[in-house]
Amino acid sequence: MAPKLTAAEAYLSSSVENAPPIKIVRLLYQGAIRFLGQAALEDSKDPRSNFIKLLSDADAIVAELRLALDDSAASSEVVSNLERLYLFCEAEIQRAMLDRSSEPLRGAKSVLETLLEAWSKVEVEAARAA
């Protein structure tokens, strides 16, 4: 039997399930950026820190964004460029994990913040057009 959800959990679940795709994309970016920021605050050399877990969470989000790309829905150039950016972020996150260093995270975080800003503008424009 599934556990009962609290009112807050039910609201959050419903708001995500019923959200337009562009909002989901924005939430994914925000989550990945948050995980990278939290990882950067951890002691990357301490094996008991959450450094690797937080990076794994961010990496999973970026990989999901990359795998969700659909070149039939947009120009193949846009999709190709997004794929390259996601692959760069994934490589930097993996390098941070291997080196146990937060230095590579700056580039990945910067790329994701720029993409979030762009998607937020697209979301605003879509809302205006509706």
- pLDDT tens sequence across 26-57: 999 999 999 999 999 999 999 999 999 999 99
Amino acid at 82: L
- 75 — alpha (psi -120 to 50), left (phi > 0) or beta? beta
Structure tokens at 61: 């989000």
Parse the chain into domains and list their residue ranges: 22-129
Measured between alpha carbons, how far is 86 from 59 in angstroms, rounded to an integer? 10
CATH of domain 22-129: 1.20.120.340
pTM of the model: 0.84
pLDDT reading at 6 higher than 80: no
How far is the C-alpha of 100 from the C-alpha of 17, rounded, in Å? 36
Mean pLDDT value of segment 5-17: 64
Mean pLDDT, range 113-117, rounded to an integer: 97
Q: 5 CB contacts (<8 Å, ≥6 apart)? A: 13
